[in-house]
Amino acid sequence: MALSHSFPEKIRIFDTTLRDGEQTPGVSLTPENKLRIAKSLDELGVDVIEAGFAVVSDGEAKAIKLIAKEGLRAEVYSFARGVKEDIDAVLKSEAKGVHLCIPTSNLHLQHKLKKGKEEILRLTEECTQYTKDHGLIVELSAEDATRSDFNFLTKMFAAGISAGADRICPCDTVGVLTPEKTIELYSNLRKKFAKIPMSAHCHDDFGLGVANSIAALKSGADQVHATMNGLGERAGNAALEEIVVALKAVYNVDVSVKTELLYETSRLVARLTGIPVQPNKAIVGENAFVHESGMHTHGILAHPLTYEPISPELVGRTRRLVSGKHAGSSGIKASLKEIGLYPNDEQLKEIFLRVKTIGDKGKRVTDADLQAIAEAVMGLPKIRPLKLEGLTVVTGDNVTPTASVQLNINGKTLTEAATGVGPVDAAMNAIRKAVSAVEPIQLEKYSVKAITGGTDAVTEVAVSLRKGDRTATAMGVNEDIVRASVEAMLSGMNVLMTDYNKLNSKEES
Ligand code: MN
């Protein structure tokens, strides 16, 4: 029989960020935060949201109920083992479907469940029947299916299907599939079960999660389980953003996910789970659309497709060129043009050299550094529209952290006060409040690093700011984290507020 190697007409995305993703070590979301993520996943356009594992705790049950009652477009499911108590917990949560997961491998049967094969078949049938009797959708997963005996796996699925299971999923629980084995598995299952819808549940232990998910979609599956940012136990699950964008951009297959919302969803998930995204992560990593090397920035400036497979706007992002030791003079020239500086060839050569020297010392060159270097080389006065004149921060027990700042903006003194979750947040809020009256500048990224070991460590704060389509990076270094943060913020804001073009035209007029 010839294998079908084409994608299904409609590809469904079963998001499990809030269940398998939440099983990431160290992650625990409050019901309110689960709801926030669920709403953004719904807006993104996923078909199913597996909201949690109802029997785990009261908070978990509450979260699923909260999401189920929200009236989302996506179907809301809860995970359950082949245990009546688990299913009862789902029934109370008002979820629409149960992701019923029962192991099929000898390893799991002998060492984990201590149950025989006959008992597994009986459980599968009973639990499926029980769930269907209550009117819920059953997504029947065979746990560790990819290390199970194929004959037994099909017996288990057959037991579930005869009891009314709506869909089957041979889980690659420990990520041992390859694209070739995936095609074989799904094609063989399709031969046994002609009609039942099938899902793929792939893990990334060998970095093959996304490739295997796509292989499954090409050989019989019409739905994939995935998580935002590839969160999940161990090396994580197949990453939703990678599957969706690969399908769209590489395979030219349409998926009903609004790709332009992927980045903001990724950032929300990273923030609420506390698991940062690695900088070189596909699609949503910090560096996915950042160019430093001279050869690349030169190409990008001539035509973006030279060094970008997709345009950043497709996934809700913007391109950024940064200075550093790999930078070329055309990248530096483009960055300086943004603040209205046009060095001559000689000056550009000198700026270029100084940037490389800093880079060779292992330091990052921010936009604020680049501006300072260019000013020095070009013999320009240091224009800083924004100056700090005073800063007071109050914090302590039973005190709302409060900061007041006095800034000089273009020669005028402004005073503002604000509160925050801590002293740094309060100080940054006060500055933003003062400056926003004059300039619409947003803080896009804030990160802090202790350079030395103790409590008197020197802290290095890096920020990335945005004003319209311009961005600026800057750094602040101080023993005091509040002052380092303020320094970084002001220095970045100064870059965005500087425009030598305007200054020059003023002088001329
Ligand atoms: Mn899993």
Model pLDDT for residues 142-176, shown as the tens digit of each residue: 999 999 999 999 999 999 999 999 999 999 999 99
Tens digits of residue pLDDT in 198-238: 999 999 999 999 999 999 999 999 999 999 999 999 999 99
Q: Looking at per-residue confidence, does 291 or 427 come out higher? A: 427
**Mean pLDDT rounded to a whole number for the chain:** 92
d(CA 411, CA 404) in angstroms, rounded, equals: 19
pLDDT digits 0-9 by tens, 118-143? 999 999 999 999 999 999 999 999 99
- What's the average model confidence in pLDDT over 40-49? 98
Residue 100 has pLDDT above 80, yes or no: yes
Evaluate whether residue 120 is within a structural domain. yes
Q: Could you give the C-alpha distances from 21 to 83, 207, 233, 334, 507, in angstroms and in order?
A: 22, 16, 7, 41, 58
Residue 410 near residue 443, CB atoms below 8 Å: no
Point out the domain boundary residue: 232, 248, 273. Answer: 273
Residues 20 and 130 reside in one and the same domain: yes
The pLDDT value given to residue 118? 94
Distance 237 CA to ligand 1 centre (A): 7
Q: Is residue 285 part of a domain?
A: no
| Radius of gyration for the chain, computed over Cα atoms and rounded to the nearest angstrom | 27
pLDDT for position 2: 42
> Which residues, other chains included, contact 89 with Cβ-Cβ below 8 Å and sequence gap of 6+?
54, 55, 61, 78, 80
Point out the domain boundary residue: 230, 248, 273.
273
**What total of structural domains would you count in the chain?**
3
Residue 30 confidence (pLDDT): 94
- Say which CATH number the domain at 449 has: 3.30.160.270
| pTM of the predicted protein model | 0.79
Q: Are residues 326 and 250 in the same domain?
A: no
Range 348-363 average pLDDT: 87
Quick one: 338 and 258 in the same domain?
Answer: no
Kindly state whether residues 397 and 374 are assigned to the same domain. Answer: no
Dist. CA 194 → ligand 1 center (Å): 25
Q: What is the CATH number of the domain that holds 169?
A: 3.20.20.70
pLDDT value at position 53?
Answer: 97
For residues 163 and 227, membership in a common domain is answered with yes
pLDDT at 509: 42
The last residue of one of the domains, among 324, 358, 378, is 378
202 CA distance to ligand 1 middle (Å): 7
Are 171 and 297 found together in one domain? no
pLDDT score of 4: 54
The CA distance from 475 to 460, in Å, is: 7
102, part of any domain: yes
For residue 20, the CA-to-ligand 1 centroid distance in Å is: 6
CA of 130 to the centre of ligand 1 (A): 24
Q: How far apart are CA 102 and CA 95, in angstroms?
A: 19
Report how far ligand 1's centroid is from the alpha carbon of 25 (Å).
Answer: 13
Average pLDDT score over residue span 293-299: 81
Same domain, 237 and 154: yes
Whether 215 and 308 map to the same domain: the answer is: no
173 Cα: distance to centroid of ligand 1 (angstroms): 5
Q: Once rounded to an integer, what is the mean pLDDT over residues 375-390?
A: 90
Is residue 364 located within the same domain as residue 390? no
d(CA 231, CA 24): 6
| Encoded amino acid at 321, one letter | L
**Dist. CA 128–CA 82, nearest whole Å:** 9
Are 322 and 418 members of one domain? Answer: no
Is 246 inside a domain boundary? yes
Q: Is the pLDDT of residue 508 over 50?
A: no
Name the pLDDT band for 290 (thresholds 50, 70, 90): confident
Residues with Cβ within 8 Å of 164's Cβ and at least 6 positions away in sequence, in order, are 128, 129, 132, 138
Please list, residue by residue across 120-146, b when 16 or more beta carbons sit within 10 angstroms of its beta carbon and e when fewer do.
Answer: bbebbbebbbbbbeeebbbbbbbbbbb
Give the pLDDT of residue 1: 40
Rounded CA-CA distance 183/173 in Å is 17
365 with 390, same domain?
no
The alpha carbon of 345 and the centre of ligand 1 are apart by a number of angstroms equal to: 57
User: What's the gap in Å between 108 CA and the centre of ligand 1?
Assistant: 14
- pLDDT for res 90: 98
Q: Which range marks the domain in which residue 132 is found?
A: 12-273
* 240 part of a folded domain: yes
pLDDT digits (tens, 9 = 90+) for 303-312: 888 889 999 9
Q: How far is the CA of 111 from the centre of ligand 1 (A)?
A: 18
**364 domain residue, yes or no:** yes
**Tokens representing residue 237 in the block:** 């699950």
Task: Say if residue 371 is in the same domain as residue 397.
Answer: no
Least confident of 42-51, 74-83, 322-331, 411-420: 322-331
